[in-house]
Chains A and B, each alone.
Chain A
Amino acid sequence: MKIKLFHRFFLFGYVVLISIFLSPQHGLAEYDYINISDPFLNKIPVAAPVFKDLSAKSADPAIAEQAAELINKSLAHTGYFKMIDPDAFLEDLRVKGITGPQINFDNWRDIGAELLITGGITVEEDYLQIEFRLFDTFKSELLFGKRYKGRLEDQRKIVLRFCSEMMYRLTGKRGIFESMIAFVSTTTGNKEIFTSEFDGHDVKQVTRTKSLTLFPAWSPDGASIAYTSYQNDKPEIFIRHLADQTEKKISFDGINITPVWVPGGEKMCATLSFEGDEEIYLLTNNGKIDKRLTKNWGIDVSPSFSPDGKNMAFVSKRFGSPQIFIQNLDSGAVRRLTYEGKYNTQPDWSPAGDYIAYSAMENGQSDIFVIRTDGEDLKQLTRDSGSNESPAWSPDGSLIAFSSNRTGKSRIYVMTASGTDQRILINLSGEQTDPAWSASFKEN
């Protein structure tokens, strides 16, 4: 546990967040607040009022306001929650207090809140402590509470750590709050790889190739990004370690594109054409060829793996038009997954393993679909809104990021896995395409 924690802190920089449980733990993981079958249509109403200042000398009120604002925005972002407008609130917990006995739960039930989050902040010089409590208003019961301590500038990390913990308590999954999104942007005039946090916050430029850079993919530990770049006047794969800024190159004759890690992180996979045909190869982490996976004349491209690493979805033109196929890596057996339409590409296997998202093109416009891995339950998630491409599942499977030119320029959007709550994720000059969502960096 200590090693894991250290690893996580290392990934996230230099912040050490001390967290203390505020209540005895009971069986919260089995909690069924979130309706698994259609959670996004029946959102849980949550109230998260401005936090109470518990400091000895009163702190800047902006800190408490920012914390509440971020918790509201972040929870709404998941698609699971409907955050209740503060204008509706009947009592001010900054005056009354934030612990169970101080709260009149009738006041929260009356405005429709099923869950209530209270918070208290303590500022002491450069340090910030926030305590959070999550209540079930109908049971008038504390579900869990947690106290975090860090530096003042760690406020965002502290709030997101609580959100992450709350999601874990409610769904058994860590959620998205500590994940990242990589994407392609033409902000500088060339296509380069950028990253942002899960909600579009803190955009950073990763590559400066001044050429054409495409197809970012995260390593499972989030430490590296692989991509295709034309910086040497041909499409080659680079694997960049984000912290060290070191780079490895995979370059065979012809094209070297669509890199992806095989779950587990021991191997990679990519499309290469050095044998005269576009085929998918298994590679070592050092870019050496382990074995050729597809053996069919015609384009084979865009591998995506099942979470157990045993099956691979990919695009093949073997029957005339691009369609999605699934290959079992042990037996080599291949079956066709998509039959609807004449142009189905960009498969992305869901983290739960049960669905594959992809883009389907008709009359020059693409839309995002999901299909169960047995080929049943095909659902169209975008429609009548420009071209929608490159679906990428969030690490908890609740959201799908994609690119859309519905307002003219291509932008990165996000929606729930049911296709609801479609909204723009990143505001940046130029055009953005090809999102790739990292794993959740917080370990269970």
Chain B
Amino acid sequence: MKKRNMYFKIGLVILMVGLLVTVSACSKKKSHLDPMEQAPSSQTEASAAAEQEAAEARAIAEEELRAQQLQEQKAREEAAQQKTQAREQFVNKDIYFNFDDASLSSDAREVLKDKVEWLRENPGVSVLIEGHCDERGTAEYNIALGQRRAQSVKTFMVNAGVSPSRLSTISYGEERPVAMGSNESAWAKNRRAHFRIQN
């Protein structure tokens, strides 16, 4: 009789624990853990749950922080990239001229305005303006013409407020083409003023 009673009590406890675990599991939102795998421990149940909750909160916070850091880094990288891009654009975007002409077209002026802006944002930078010509015509005259192209770019920038001490000029005439070939498309690319950052 005693033995039967004891078996009953144990059975009841097991049932209650099982019930409790089920209820607790149900009360939690979407736990992916199988309740059967959890170690049955009547004393640590509550604290374990709290601890888990705290850990999860920490993970979320950490995740948020990481995301924030990532975002900041991305912003920094983007800013740096933008700066590099602006610098590259300043260097890579040439000013183009018509044949036997050193005057600035309206397109050339637009490009130069961006360059002046960049120089304003980068006050420590000095640049060398190179004047170039296409292969047509003769070497002597083309060095003079290239100088004139570099000079007209410099004059525009000085008039736009850049200190002349930051701008120097050189002419390579027809000696340093960027595009090979004896056709208008190559010639057009070679009649240019190119910028070189000096510091």
Contact = CB atoms under 8 A, between A and B. Distances in A.
Interface of A: 191, 212, 214-215, 228, 230, 233-235, 254-255, 257-258, 271, 273, 276, 278, 299, 301-302, 315, 317, 321-322, 343, 345-346, 359, 361, 364, 366, 389-390, 433-434
A212 B175 contact: yes
Nearest to B138: A345
A157 B144 CA distance: 41
A317 B100 CA distance: 10
Interface in B21-73: none
B145 A299 contact: yes
B190 interface: no
A390 B139 CA distance: 9
A361 B170 CA distance: 25
Contacts of B175: 191, 212, 214
Interface residue tally on B, bucketed by range: 20 to 34
B171 A235 contact: yes
Indicate the member of A255, A366, A433 with the most B CB atoms within 10 Å: A255
Given A257-B140, A301-B144, A345-B141, 12 more contacts: A212-B172, A214-B175, A258-B140, A273-B144, A278-B147, A299-B148, A345-B140, A359-B138, A361-B136, A364-B135, A364-B182, A389-B138
What 3 A-B pairs come out closest when comparing CB atoms? A278-B144, A299-B144, A364-B136
Interface secondary structure of A, over-half rule: strand
A254 B169 contact: yes
18 contacts: A233-B170, A235-B170, A254-B151, A257-B140, A271-B144, A273-B151, A299-B145, A301-B140, A302-B141, A315-B141, A322-B100, A345-B137, A345-B141, A361-B136, A361-B137, A364-B135, A364-B182, A434-B139
Give the interface SS of chain B, mostly helix, strand, loop or mixed.
mixed
Contacts of B141: 299, 301-302, 315, 322, 345-346
B138 A346 contact: yes
B193 interface: no
Contact of A366 (B138, B148, B151, B169): B138
Interface string B139-158: 11101110110010000000
Contact of B170 (A234, A276, A345, A389): A234
Contacts of A361: 136-138
Nearest to B150: A254
Contacts of B182: 364
A283 to B, nearest CB: 17
Interface string B180-199: 00100000000000000000
B30 to A, nearest CB: 71
Given A276-B151, A390-B138, A343 B100 contact: yes
Nearest to B170: A234
Contacts of B171: 235, 255
A278 B147 CA distance: 8
Contacts of B143: 214, 228, 235, 255, 257, 301
Contacts of A345: 137-138, 140-141
B147 A343 contact: no
A343 B140 contact: no
Interface in B152-177: 169-172, 175
A85 B55 CA distance: 109
Contacts of A273: 144, 147, 151
A361 B174 CA distance: 15
A358 to B, nearest CB: 10
A234 to B, nearest CB: 6
A276 B17 CA distance: 98
B112 to A, nearest CB: 19
B100 A321 contact: yes
B18 to A, nearest CB: 89
Given A233-B170, A235-B171, A321-B100, A254 B138 contact: no
A215 B173 CA distance: 13
A255 B147 contact: yes
A7 B84 CA distance: 64
A295 to B, nearest CB: 16
Contacts of A276: 151
Nearest to A191: B175
B100 A257 contact: no
Nearest to A361: B137
A109 B29 CA distance: 126
Contacts of A278: 144, 147-148
Nearest to A389: B138
Interface in B116-148: 135-141, 143-145, 147-148
A434 B175 CA distance: 13
Contacts of A230: 172
B46 to A, nearest CB: 80
A433 B170 CA distance: 22
Contacts of B137: 322, 343, 345, 361, 366
A187 to B, nearest CB: 16
Given A278-B147, A299-B145, A433 B139 contact: yes
Contacts of A343: 100, 137
